[in-house]
A and B are shown apart, each in its own frame.
Chain A
């Protein structure tokens, strides 16, 4: 049978299903533009042929196998920017975690309320200053490594600048707020330590987000190098 390994092909119930949409979407995202139509078309043609002899499960398995192997072949060509950005974030997170462990355990560095009072409000500020479409476009450019015009570069870089700066200012304000609250309620000196640590965590989260946003903004600016105002 065409393109179907025997270990994946059992049963013989004729079915008429579509290829798995998720696998198709994965390929559409990863394949170079000039190969999307011919390659997805070839896969669908063979998928329909296989359906004449094999059951739904084996056909779906066959398609997924082809999609994953094909993605592996092309991911380095088309998603290099995403891989490098993800690698840098994982590297940064790994180093930070290592430093936390060396400082006496990572658990003391996690505080959900401190995170909630920085990133979500900063995201709301960013949406208010730019627009949901621009925010979506900025993240899409960052992940795909593709920018269309100079205007696109400027608006996407602005999204990350606003997000990072808002987060940093919010972190600073919330930290000061924590200090004011501490100063107003000091009854015992020994409670100052834990309260101070939690208040400073807010600033640490804010600075981390600012750092990631700075890298993202610089990445977008770099991608736009060589574009002229004519490309708008």
Chain B
């Protein structure tokens, strides 16, 4: 596996949020799930920077959706994880699991 396939912590959170949301993954819902599940209040700018980067890497695809009145008549951008994205996520998890194997919590200061 190439070095570039490893995902950063926030990238993993974003990809997992999109997987959990399924068809309803767009900026607002992704931010909401990150706040609800991991209590991380990310700015919309930071989120879109990451989404754009993941899309450029081919790990995400996007499609414009409907415009609604509560959005000031502006369209949503729905995100979907690609096969490549799922593979990268799985490989990152396997790598982390491999590193954690046989590590006792006392080694990292947890009793």
Contact = CB atoms under 8 A, between A and B. Distances in A.
Interface magnitude class on chain B: 20 to 34
B69 to A, nearest CB: 10
The majority secondary structure among interface residues of chain A is: helix
Given A2-B28, A2-B32, A2-B35, A41 B45 contact: no
Nearest to B32: A2
Task: For chain A, give the interface size range.
Answer: 20 to 34
A88 B24 CA distance: 46
A128 interface: no
B43 interface: yes
Given A2-B32, A48-B70, A73-B49, A43 B76 contact: no
A72 B28 CA distance: 20
A37 B44 contact: no
A103 to B, nearest CB: 46
Contacts of B75: 37-38, 41
Most chain A CB atoms below 10 A, which of B27, B35, B64: B27
A207 to B, nearest CB: 42
Interface in B36-62: 41, 43-46, 48-49, 52
A180 interface: no
A162 to B, nearest CB: 40
Contacts of B76: 38, 41-42
Contact of A46 (B28, B48, B52, B68): B28
Interface of B: 26-28, 31-32, 35, 41, 43-46, 48-49, 52, 64, 67-68, 70-72, 74-77
Interface of A: 2-3, 5, 19, 35, 37-46, 48, 65-66, 69-74
5 contacts: A2-B28, A3-B31, A42-B28, A42-B71, A72-B45
